[in-house]
Amino acid sequence: MDKYIGIVEFAGIAMWLLSQSDAAVNGTVGSGAGSPVSNLVSRLGSFTFSRTSSGRVETATDSESDEAASVGGSFFETLTSSEFYKNTKVGDISGSFRWAPFLALQTSDTFLTMLLLLSKYRMKSLPVVEVGGDKIENIITQSSVVHMLAECVGLSWFESWGTKKLSELGLPIMKPSKLVKVNEDQPVLKAFQLMREKGVGGLPVMDTSGAKAIGNISIRDVQYLLTAPKIYKEHRSITTKDFLSAVRHHLQEQCEASPLLHDVITCKKDDTIKDIILKLDSEKIHRIYVVDDKGNTEGVITLRDIISKLVHEPRHYFGDFFDGVVPLPANSTV
């Protein structure tokens, strides 16, 4: 019988690619001549950010990178033709994930266990397996839990809890000074680097004043740097504001539906938790930004924040399971 040892998500792969490229540029990983990572980076080129006297952000790239961007089409065309792509195994990426070995729910586990893993213990999705079974029965995500809550509208327990204001529940949890964000004139690569460094799945793009959010970029949006040729050609210098505009244009051309096509979704501290759940579920988004009466961004509320307000972990509920019993792989980056 095959044993499950991990789960691969797009966000994890994207983060791993970014970290490997950064490390190779800095000479800390695969720096030897002919190594897969260094070969790929030499084709993509290293980059540095600088600002001109007019305020425009520019990057310095090598000639190979410029040539690859002009004739290579998309990132994937360059990536799939490299030895780095051909030689990389799934096991090489395993260290980019939070838990190892494979952490899954069993059908006999309690609802409380599921909610705690998706909130306090920062799991984004949980495979469900039968004890001794040889297949994954289902996958439960944070989004599916919030959708389930939206389906509970009208039930007495939900209405009693759902009518509470965000401020009454201690939301947003994060202080405004701790909010991870980027300005509209910063390179979009900086946004993805911040997500990797800070361990967040998305962040707001702020206007020039730094007070109002004009958009949201999530780790999944890195796909447009990789797959849209027009965006890829400018990927080293394109600002977050221009990236959002370019992605919207790309989505319209492809007739694809996406939250990126809409204005940034916001709420106020006086809104009820029920309002927020319904908005997150209907818009199919993972975070909503809290604003004051002037529209200034005060914080963010994520799916995890909402789930965390449903549960309290009893003392010693998991014993010492999360105190180092679960080993991390040798190539762990978390």
Within a domain: residue 303? yes
Q: Is residue 157 part of a domain?
A: no
Predicted pLDDT at 4: 56
CATH classification of the domain holding 245:
3.10.580.10
Tell how strand 297-302 and strand 287-291 pair up: antiparallel
- How wide is the angle at C-alpha 45 spanned by C-alphas 40 and 51, nearest 5°? 150
Give the Cα-Cα-Cα angle 330, 10, 333 (nearest 5 degrees). Answer: 25
> How high is the pLDDT of residue 279?
97
Quick one: CA dihedral 169, 174, 175, 176, positive or negative?
negative
127 within a domain of the structure (yes/no): no
Last residue of a domain, one of 92, 108, 133: 92
Q: pTM for the full model?
A: 0.75
Instruction: Please answer whether residues 229 and 69 qualify as being in contact, where contact means their C-beta atoms are separated by less than 8 angstroms.
Output: no
Spatial distance between the Cα atoms of 208 and 210, rounded to a whole number of angstroms: 5
pLDDT score at 83 = 78
pLDDT at 257: 86
Last residue of a domain, one of 47, 77, 92: 92
Average pLDDT per 10 consecutive residues for the chain, totaling 334 residues: 54 58 48 44 41 46 41 58 77 58 81 93 87 84 96 96 96 93 96 89 96 95 83 87 95 89 94 98 96 96 96 88 56 48
Is residue 78 located within the same domain as residue 190? no
Q: What are the φ and ψ backbone dihedral angles of 277, each rounded to 5 degrees?
A: -60, -45
d(CA 85, CA 72): 16
Q: What is the pLDDT of residue 94?
A: 59
Domain residue limits at 81 = 10-92
Would 289 be classed as within a structural domain? yes
Q: Do 172 and 306 have their domain in common?
A: yes
- Same domain, yes or no: 296 and 200: yes
Number of domains in the chain: 2
- In a domain? residue 103: no
**Are residues 232 and 44 in contact, defined by beta-carbon separation less than 8 angstroms?**
no
Residue 82 lies in a domain: yes
Bridge partners for 128 per DSSP: 105, 138
Can you give the three-state secondary structure of the chain, one letter per residue? CCCCCCCCCHHHHHHHHHHHHHHHHHCCCCCCCCCHHHHHHHHHCCCEEEECCCCCEEEECCHHHHHHHHHCCCHHHHHHCCHHHHHCCHHHHHHHCCCCCCCCEECCCCHHHHHHHHCCCCCCEEEEECCCCCCEEEEEEHHHHHHHHHCCCCCHHHHHHHCCEHHHHCCCCCCHHHCCCEECCCEHHHHHHHHHHHCCCEEEEECCCCCCEEEEEEHHHHHHHHHCHHHHCCCCCCEHHHHHHHHHHHHHHHCCCCHHHCCCCEECCCCEHHHHHHHHHHHCCCEEEEECCCCCEEEEEEHHHHHHCCCCCCCCCCCCHHHHHCCCCCCCCC
How many CB atoms neighbour CB 121 within 10 A? 16
Q: Are residues 266 and 176 in the same domain?
A: yes
Q: Is 3 contained in some domain?
A: no
- Cα 161 off chain centre by: 29
In a domain, 137, yes or no: no
Q: Both 215 and 85 in a single domain?
A: no
